[in-house]
Structure 1
Amino acid sequence: MTDGKNDKLDWAIPVMRTGYAGRALVYLVVAGISLWSVLRGGNGQGTSSAFAQLESAPLGKVVLVLIFLGMLAYAVWRLIDAIWDLECYGSDGEGIIARLGMIVTGVIHLILGFGALLLVFTASSGGGESGIAKAAGMVMGLPGGRFILGAAGIVTIGAGLYYGKKAYERAYRKHLRGNEVTRNWDGLLRAGVASQGFVVGMIGVLIAYAAWTYNPSEAGGLGGVFGWLSGQPYGQILIGVLTLGLLCFALFCAVNAVYRIVPRASDPDIQTLAARFSS
């Protein structure tokens, strides 16, 4: 799994742990606010709406600043992970694609972090068009923008399928330290990864549909996924189940913050969760 520990890369581990902790906080906030809304007869909340509600809560601005710092750390982690190949994806075609995907993921989370920070210093707009819909409108205004947006939707669907495959095969186990905590929570971790896969895949479908209909307002993020689910039979129940799944993904991120293994920077003798299950 590793070519050996490189002590010069030890500094990457606290950056990684801070990043995953920030990511866990984001999903805890968004899924927690959405679940509370559903239990009170409302709808699930997108990231922007959840952050806006958090802004007026006690210590809300402090949490928003912590989210920004966590997203900044996660973006830095994804960048250095891609450059130094800390998780040993390799330099073949598949490895290069995976490492480019890390950079894209880092940029997305950095934008999310700056969105949280912006709410600390400015008044909330109280909702409106989602950030993804706005970005879709900008892309569609470019030469060939409709095709670029459609390609982005297909790639996002692929990312969602990757998460689903990761959950089905429990591939995340090879990146986690094997101990009683990770072993006992494995079922919840798997549910979290699967839920994230569903959300990412559905966001890809919405983006692709926006390109197909030439209507950027059809694109959407988590709020768009919740909106689509609300129109389905037993929609509120489905939204409630999905929010519970996203809380499991928050747990998954928190577990990664504590127990994730970085092959090129961690002790090579650490037993992985995959090895623990196979033993």
Structure 2
Amino acid sequence: MTTGASPTTVARRVDRAKVVRAAARAGFVARGVLYLLVGALAVRIGLTGTSEQADRGGALAEVVSTPFGVVLLWALGVGLAGMALWRLSEALFGGAGPKGDQPGKRALSGARFVFYAVSSFLVLAFAVGDRGSGAGSTDRQSQDLTSRLLSLPGGPWWVGAAAAGFLGAGLWIAGRAVLRKYREHLEWQRMSTVQRRFMDVTGTAGGVARGLVFGAVGFFGLKASIESDPGEAKGMDDAIRSFAQAPAGPWLLVAVAVGLVLFGAFSFGQSKWREV
């Protein structure tokens, strides 16, 4: 009869925890880089009307055009894989904090694992030369997927359900940002006043901007489901561009774009102060 784990077993668990924590922090950095690039591209679109893509594909095209671009792509892909590993560990064993073991949170972590695993695969595929993998327009991908769903029995309902999920996620992301729920996951007590202010500014503005983009994707998805027209669906790029059609014009687009840049900076802060 065992009285507890052996010292060797405990040491292995500690080592695994250290690996997962390091992977998570690398993932936050990779996510931050992607959002910084997408936000910068969106700012350029708002100010100049350029035809560049303000999405993952546009960001990867920017990276690969720089010196050591392929090396940077590998770093981003591995970083996103680290994020996927962390989310998988949360889904299997529960996350940090008193509520980290709740079934709902573990299920959400599982969904995030799938998202980051796919994102990592696409970036790494792009790095090894499959230029049609990670850099495809999210607008075209959204329309292709919508077209496939519409062709299924009850297609508009499938599209509507997916769109409602994006819309709900956007409202949830923006709402949590406004309420500063991200503080619950930060090592708040050991942060300085300046560090707390940095995370509040970037976390609130960045989270609202990110939520608006998710919400816009969901809104146009609902429109596609109602009209049974895949052409109405929009990916991240067209969703961002759509803000220029609001009464505030291109300045709303620029404001959302700056918010995405701030969310990238927030991700960098999370890599340092997030409890994982």
Aligned residues of 2:46 and 2:244 also touching (Cα < 8 A): no
Query: 2:90 maps to what in 1?
Result: 81
For structure 2, the residue ranges without an aligned partner over 5 or more in a row are: 1-12
Alignment correspondent of 1:20 = 28
Deviates more, 1:20-29 or 1:31-40: 31-40
Q: 1:108 matched to which residue of 2?
A: 115
Q: Which residue of 2 aligns with 1:9?
A: 17
Aligned partners of 2:55 and 2:137 also within 8 Å:
no
On the 8 A contact 1:162/1:197 being kept in 2, the answer is yes
Does 2:126 align with 1:119?
yes
| Number of the residue aligned with 1:207 | 221
- Report the counterpart of residue 265 of structure 1 in structure 2: none
Which residue, 183, 200, 222 being the options, matches 2:196? 183
Q: Is residue 27–residue 249 contact of structure 1 (8 Å, CA) maintained in 2? A: yes
Report the CA distance shift for 1:135/1:89 in structure 2 as closer, same or farther (over 3 A). Answer: farther
Which protein, 1 or 2, shows the higher relative CO under an 8 Å CA cutoff with sep ≥ 6? 1
How has the CA–CA distance of structure 1 residues 14 and 126 changed in structure 2, closer, same or farther, with 3 Å as cutoff?
A: closer
Mark the CA change 1:80 to 1:132 in structure 2 (over 3 Å): closer, same or farther. Answer: farther
Partner of 2:152: 142
Does the 8 Å contact 2:34/2:59 carry over to 1?
no
Q: What is the rounded CA distance, in whole Å, between the counterparts of 1:10 and 1:220 in structure 2?
A: 40
Does 1:161 find its partner at 2:171? yes
AA of the residue aligned to 2:84: A
Corresponding letter in the other structure for 2:93: W
In 2, the alpha carbon distance for the partners of 1:34 and 1:115 equals: 21
Kindly indicate whether the alpha-carbon contact (under 8 Å) linking 1:89 and 1:99 is maintained by their aligned counterparts in 2: no
Distance 1:52 1:145 in 2: 33
1:57 aligned to 2:57?
Answer: no
Query: Residue 216 of structure 1: CA displacement?
Result: 2.1
Equivalent position of 1:239 in the other structure: 253
Larger radius of gyration: 2
Flag the 1:9–1:219 CA change in 2: closer, same or farther, 3 A: same
One-letter identity of the residue aligned with 2:34? V
Provide the aligned C-alpha RMSD in A.
Answer: 2.4
Identity rate of aligned residues, in percent?
26
TM-score in terms of structure 2 length:
0.81
Determine the structure 2 residue equivalent to 1:272: none
Residue range with higher mean Cα deviation, 226-235 or 122-131? 122-131
Match of 1:136, as an amino acid?
T
Provide the C-alpha distance between the structure 2 equivalents of 1:139 and 1:56, rounded to a whole number of angstroms: 35
Aligned AA for 1:184? R
Instruction: State the distance in 1 between where 2:218 and 2:137 align.
Output: 21
**Number of residues of Structure 1 aligned to a counterpart in Structure 2:** 254
What SS does the corresponding residue of 1:11 show, helix, strand or coil?
helix
How far off its partner does 1:175 sit? 0.6
Distance 2:40 2:50 in 1: 13
| Map of 1:276 onto structure 2 | none
Q: After superposition, give the CA deviation of every residue in 1:189-212 in whole Å (9 maximum; x if it has no partner).
A: 211111111111111112222222
Aligned residues of 2:217 and 2:236 also touching (Cα < 8 A): yes
Instruction: Tell me the residue number matched to 2:10.
Output: none
Segment of structure 1 superposing worse, 162-171 or 239-248: 162-171
The partner residue of 2:40 within 32, 35, 53 is 32
